[in-house]
Amino acid sequence: MKDGPGEAPQVALVCGLARDGGTALLERHVEWPWSLPRGYRRAGRDGPLTVLPQCAGAALLPGDRWRHRIEAQAGAKVDMISAGALLVHADRKRPRVARSDWELMAGEGAVLRHLQDPNVLMTGARMAQRIDLTLAPGATAVLFDGMCRQSPEAGDAGGWWLSDLQVTAPGGRVLLRDRQRVSEADLAGIRALPGGAAAFGTVTMLCADRGALRQAFPEGPMALRDCYAACGAARGGAGLVLRIAARTGGALDRAFRHVRERLSP
């Protein structure tokens, strides 16, 4: 799907409470290259609805722009997961940006968890990601965001990664802004330092009950195998942010899985 201003999302989902009181998929719009199996309640009626959009080829190509719109209505509980790491391709002859945009909405008292696997960038790949989250009072949101290079030892081919997160209240007031950018040259320099980090992840946790959140994720260093990780308060007191620097993409994947287990209902 090529970039174009004002285009509708290829994946648009509305999740809300069904007649039995559990979360269900109420509305859907899915276009190529996406498909969407039925959501499932792995923890029963009162647990989250797990939703797994699947992409043909599981790869983001130069010039692509993926657009997603996910709404969890008031009281709904939704886990958005992926089928594995997303491979971001490069085009050495005609460098173009691959884009992935997410519009997320969590209604009053809803729980929306965006538990995506890390992005894996081929040498020379350029990826820009935008995540816009609207967070209603009493809502909870958890956002996973991670990246690594497919070939960490490769030289600088002009690639880069950009991730821009903005969280707002329904009236438009900005609650949190987090913008990250790194080039292949930056990554090569970091990898050469003692410890040799080559994969990086962020888990943003926004919750009205921050006391319970801090019990599961105390502020300070967090023990994760082959990683340096630390958790701290988000700016403005919106929640907690966990930063992870891992030796390999596999170590980052294990760290994400460990965090998912801590978050399990």
Share above pLDDT 90 across residues of the chain, in percent, rounded to a whole number? 77
* Selected residue with higher pLDDT from 211 and 194: 194
**Strands 140-149, 119-121: pairing kind:** parallel
Q: What is the pLDDT at residue 4? A: 45
pLDDT at 142 over 50: yes
State the Cα–Cα distance between residues 25 and 50, nearest whole angstrom. Answer: 10
Residue 217 included in any domain: no
How high is the pLDDT of residue 3?
A: 42
Q: What is the pLDDT of residue 42?
A: 87
In this prediction, residue 43 has a pLDDT band, given cuts at 50, 70 and 90, of: confident
- Give residue 155's Cα distance to chain centre: 27
Number of C-beta neighbours around residue 191 at 10 A: 16
Residue 234 scores a pLDDT above 60 = yes
Least confident of 9-13, 33-37, 127-131, 202-206: 33-37
Q: Is the pLDDT of residue 246 over 70?
A: yes
Taking the C-alpha atoms of residue 129 and residue 147, their distance in angstroms, rounded to an integer, is: 11
What would the pLDDT profile of 150-207 be if each residue is shown by its tens digit?
A: 999 998 999 999 999 999 999 999 999 999 999 999 999 999 888 889 999 999 999 8
Tell me if 125 is assigned to some domain: yes
The residue with greater pLDDT, 158 or 213, is 158
Query: Would 72 be classed as within a structural domain?
Result: yes
Percent of the chain with pLDDT over 70: 97
Domain region containing 97: 11-195
Let me know if residue 214 belongs to a domain. Answer: no
Average predicted confidence (pLDDT) for the chain: 92
Distance CA 155, CA 142 (A): 34
- Is 134 a member of any domain? yes
Tell whether 204 is covered by a domain. Answer: no
Question: Mean pLDDT across the stretch 253-260?
Answer: 95
Q: What is the pLDDT of residues 65-105, one digit of tens each?
A: 999 999 999 999 999 999 889 999 999 889 999 999 999 99
Say if residue 226's pLDDT is above 90.
Answer: yes
pTM above 0.85, yes or no: yes
Q: Residues 6 or more apart from 178 whose CB is under 8 A from it?
A: 163, 164, 165, 202, 204, 234, 241
Query: Looking at residues 10-14, what average pLDDT do you find?
Result: 95
Residue 253 lies in a domain: no
Instruction: Give Cα 161 distance to the centre of its chain.
Output: 14
Mean pLDDT of 107-132: 96
pLDDT computed for residue 265 by the predictor? 62
pLDDT for position 6: 57
Tally of domains in the chain = 1
Residue 103 lies in a domain: yes
Per residue, the 3-state secondary structure of 33-74, as one string, reads CEECCCCECCCCCCCCEEECCEECCCEECCCEEEEEEEEECC
